[in-house]
Structure 1
């Protein structure tokens, strides 16, 4: 199958969307599919003022997209994100009556409200408009299906599960000995991740942050006792999971939380709030961590009632091969019959 994907999130960004896309592309290639990726590197861009790590693409010409589609003649088109690249490809598909699918991976209504105080109802209106023409909207969990239905998404919502590289993320043979229990946070250092709830946990714990973001400088000054390590990748990241006694996931706005699976694969339990993502992964499974409205209580539960084998066993249930098979099943096949007409604008 020839699959055309469009995304606003791509390297050098470090986030769950990029990791999901990179791993899915690798698995698609392994299964014999051909992929073409339209990403911000193809266009002019400038950094988002309130979030410099994220590029904002512009100058995306419909004729350029037309040339790509004519050249590839994809069997399916999938839009990963609701940014400028996603909107441009959406516009092209509508102009040429090409079916496409989308996915809802980021709670932009919550993020933009927390970061720059944009009213949630405005952003929800844009999200519904973006996804409305899609043949299917893919989400990671049944909880996210319900979440979108509660926010007036009427179209078909399909599950696209996630996976974890259990060969890379493995339990560490010998943990370092230390006086304090080590708590780990992995992710963007930004207010929308609720990282301050982690940083405010008692100093009776050793706290380590892996990641970077616009709030790092502020938090390093405010919490000098916390170790900020910056980004870690591959085996270095796996080592940090393995050295931790608990991985703390403070976010209330993520749609899944791939770091939860990575931590569990390393045998390290997870402490989190009872929200989408942690609930979908951890609830109903014994000895894998703690879920509580109080993050401190969740940490205490994870420390006292968890076992590495249970954590690892749960992570092994999440397979990228099966996740990619489901992704393929969710795609909308394009019934090519004749060449496309020259590109024309669409006002939809």
Structure 2
């Protein structure tokens, strides 16, 4: 292997696609697309001005599922409650060899799973700077959905998850958070504020933009919900909304897609969409509804605004600073039905759609966020210390 001209950035992520370059994506990969996957898809190209970007994902591990031993063998398995997602307990020796061969200048751990633990172990042992990312409110998700293990109460599972997350992120040399509110939350967990860096998400303005009315995917007026159809995402809450006769469309797929589709035939189920087709679903909608309250950011909110479509959402979740960035971008209420009612009764509260799109395009850029990421990685380097990582002890 020829020596790269730029320093190697290794991104370790369990949120990944098996065949990311396939057109169209396989049905299995369609179910795996989420905000974490799309974050690093968006950062990938602009990060290449700084780094030779490499990835380590569960699909790099074929595994030996019939063999035992955490030291020598890799063990793939599905994520609990999210069977379409895959992770792996990588062997210590295999992980050490993979990272050692790459000689990365910096390692970024995008997900707090077993691969991330192994990578953190290696980096702390060998003095490589390492950053982590807080993308998912796992403790809140687990509180609502549980581990899927009989006999484990949800509140117990949530407390265990929170303790795990605190310890994990305290070990990183730098931590990536999308919003000031998330940073404040991590500080409340006991992390040092100076090691938490804001790296937001951006939008591809070539795809997410206003489209002509005749390009709308529906001839009828409609309200749309876009995202993974998975537990904890509030999709059924969207299905149950009273929209005063206005059509409801769900765009996306996931582990409970078929179940909800059968249960709610009155809703149009558009399945997985990408590229301009996805942009047209946003742009053609009267309103975009975000029913989830566990989002750490709400990337779909940014995409909707970039298409000029206002948002109705709950007052809980990381999307709040996006909607509050300017008057007239959306409406938030404690109850989702109240937010939708307000949006339908008082459309005058929103900016004109062209101004919503113009504001989003001006303030949401992947190139800018790649620069923020680079600054985070550079800040992590002096913090890297050659010491053995002992999980469970804060440094």
User: The residue matched to 2:83 in structure 1 has which SS?
Assistant: strand
User: The residue matched to 2:129 in structure 1 has which SS?
Assistant: coil
> Where do residues 10-29 of structure 1 align in structure 2 (5 Å cutoff)?
10-11=16-17, 12=29, 13-29=32-48
User: Normalized against structure 2, the TM-score is what?
Assistant: 0.80
Post-superposition shift, 1:345?
A: 8.2
Distance 2:192 2:388 in 1: 26
The residue that corresponds to 2:206 in the other structure is: 167
Distance 1:237 1:178 in 2: 13
> Where do residues 225-244 of structure 1 align in structure 2 (5 Å cutoff)?
225-244=266-285
Contiguous gaps of at least 5 residues in structure 2: 1-6, 18-28, 64-75, 147-153
Distance 1:302 1:166 in 2: 25
The residue that corresponds to 2:71 in the other structure is: none
Deviates more, 1:74-83 or 1:302-311: 302-311
Contact 1:257 1:278 survives alignment (8 Å): yes
Q: Indicate yes or no: 2:262 matched with 1:199.
A: no
> Where do residues 24-63 of structure 1 align in structure 2 (5 Å cutoff)?
24-29=43-48, 31-43=49-61, 44=63, 45-58=76-89, 60-63=90-93
Distance 1:284 1:68 in 2: 42
Distance 1:101 1:284 in 2: 28
The residue that corresponds to 1:318 in the other structure is: 364
Q: Encode CA deviations 1:128-161: one digit per residue, 9 max, x unaligned.
A: 1111111111100001112222334346221111
Post-superposition shift, 1:178?
A: 7.4
Distance 2:281 2:356 in 1: 16
Q: Indicate yes or no: 2:329 matched with 1:299.
A: no
User: The residue matched to 1:100 in structure 2 has which SS?
Assistant: strand
The residue that corresponds to 1:252 in the other structure is: 293
User: The residue matched to 1:106 in structure 2 has which SS?
Assistant: coil
Q: Encode CA deviations 1:19-42: one digit per residue, 9 max, x unaligned.
A: 10112112212x252112111111
**CA shift in 2, pair 1:35/1:178, >3 Å:** closer
The residue that corresponds to 2:186 in the other structure is: 148
Contact 1:62 1:345 survives alignment (8 Å): no
Post-superposition shift, 1:199?
A: 1.1
Aligned length, in residue pairs = 339
RMSD between aligned residues: 2.3
**CA shift in 2, pair 1:70/1:224, >3 Å:** same
Contact 2:107 2:131 survives alignment (8 Å): yes
Distance 1:284 1:87 in 2: 36
Contact 1:288 1:310 survives alignment (8 Å): no
Q: Which of 291, 297, 310 lines up with 1:269 in the alignment?
A: 310
Distance 2:285 2:130 in 1: 42
Distance 1:300 1:288 in 2: 16
Post-superposition shift, 1:80?
A: 0.7
Post-superposition shift, 1:314?
A: 2.5
User: Normalized against structure 1, the TM-score is what?
Assistant: 0.90
Q: Which of 93, 103, 106 lines up with 1:76 in the alignment?
A: 106
Q: Indicate yes or no: 2:350 matched with 1:331.
A: no
Distance 2:42 2:219 in 1: 37
Deviates more, 1:217-226 or 1:73-82: 217-226
Contiguous gaps of at least 5 residues in structure 1: none
Distance 2:123 2:287 in 1: 45
Contact 2:39 2:201 survives alignment (8 Å): yes
Post-superposition shift, 1:180?
A: 6.0
User: The residue matched to 1:46 in structure 2 has which SS?
Assistant: strand
